């Protein structure tokens, strides 16, 4: 049985800003996904490691013992496993958390948490090229694009609390009535013509197969082939 794949990504606009992170766990279909923001100021590298921690924490809680983590971050992948050998984070941990130049390792607390998780799981680390064009319909390219979007959305949707002066009365916030309900928006893609529905499903790999059909994939069948076969369209 092939180990599930865990796609992760981190996003940070600038050093010191709040970072976003996301992960997507994939088996024969999307199993789960998650996203969030870093606790306070961050960097892009810290957000990448945080994404891996969050994803592997879910894998462990889900009861899995083996997973392949796929990321476009060399910082993350090389830190854990480089060219089939132990990554430099392992080396730093054995050297009082110092680099080969004897400098303190950055993001030590995050690396400690990640190494602890790895010690309890069988993790294979794999690097992929990021930001591949949409013409690349491979699973790696599509899930990498999707997890990148989720991490960016998490970062951009973060709202810092507005400062308040002492004794000030908090303003009351009212919500505008949306033009259409969230439920309607969620259902709308299901009413599209089959060709457009197929395009939507392939652009949103986090939509599970079971949410739109009772059919199952054939052994070795890709998501693209499956969607085309069920909807009877050319994709």
Q: What is the pLDDT of residues 130-147, one digit of tens each?
A: 988 888 889 999 999 999
What pLDDT, on a 0 to 100 scale, did the predictor assign at position 199?
A: 76
225: confidence class by pLDDT, cuts 50, 70, 90: confident
- pLDDT band at residue 85 using 50, 70 and 90 as cut-offs: confident
**Averaged pLDDT for residues 32-61:** 94
The mean predicted confidence, pLDDT, of the chain is 83
What number is the average pLDDT over the span 79-96? 88
Least confident of 52-56, 149-153, 229-233: 229-233
Task: Break the chain into its structural domains and give their ranges.
Answer: 5-156, 182-231
The answer to whether 107 and 49 have CB atoms below 8 angstroms apart is yes
User: What's the pLDDT score for residue 121?
Assistant: 96
Return the pLDDT at 67.
97
Instruction: Mention every residue, 6+ apart, whose C-beta is less than 8 A from residue 12.
Output: 18, 19, 20, 38, 42, 43, 44, 46, 47, 155
Residue 176 has pLDDT above 60, yes or no: no
CA distances in angstroms from 42 to 39, 49, 182, 227, listed in the order given: 8, 11, 32, 39
Which is more confident, 161 or 81?
A: 81
Task: Note the pLDDT of residue 228.
Answer: 83
28-32, 55-59, 64-68 — which is least confidently predicted? 28-32
Judged against a pLDDT cut of 60, whether residue 41 lies above it is answered with yes
> Which CATH fold topology does 5-156 show?
Nucleotidyltransferase; domain 5 (3.30.420)
Is it the case that residue 219 has pLDDT exceeding 80? no
């Amino acid at each position: 049985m092939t180990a599930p794949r865990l796609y992760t990504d981190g996003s940070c606009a600038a050093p010191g800003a709040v970072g976003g992170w996301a992960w997507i766990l994939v088996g024969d279909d999307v199993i789960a996904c998650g996203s969030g923001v870093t606790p306070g100021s961050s960097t892009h590298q810290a957000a990448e490691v945080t994404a891996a921690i969050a994803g592997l924490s879910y894998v462990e809680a889900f009861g899995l013992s083996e997973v392949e983590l796929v990321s476009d971050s060399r910082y993350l992948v090389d830190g854990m496993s480089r060219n089939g050998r132990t990554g430099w984070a392992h080396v730093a941990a054995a050297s009082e958390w110092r680099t080969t130049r004897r400098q303190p390792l950055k993001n030590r607390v995050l690396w400690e948490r990640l190494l602890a998780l790895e010690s309890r799981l069988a993790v294979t680390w794999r690097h992929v090229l990021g930001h591949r064009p949409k013409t690349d319909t491979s699973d790696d390219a599509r899930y990498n694009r999707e997890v990148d979007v989720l991490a960016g959305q998490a970062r951009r949707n973060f709202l810092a609390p507005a400062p308040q002066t002492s004794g000030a009365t908090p303003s009351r916030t009212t919500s505008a009535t949306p033009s259409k309900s969230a439920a309607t928006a969620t259902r709308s893609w299901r009413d599209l013509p089959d060709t457009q529905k197929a395009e939507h499903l392939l652009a949103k790999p986090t939509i599970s197969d079971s949410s739109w059909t009772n059919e199952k994939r054939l052994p070795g069948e890709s998501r693209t082939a499956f969607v085309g076969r069920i909807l009877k369209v050319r994709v």
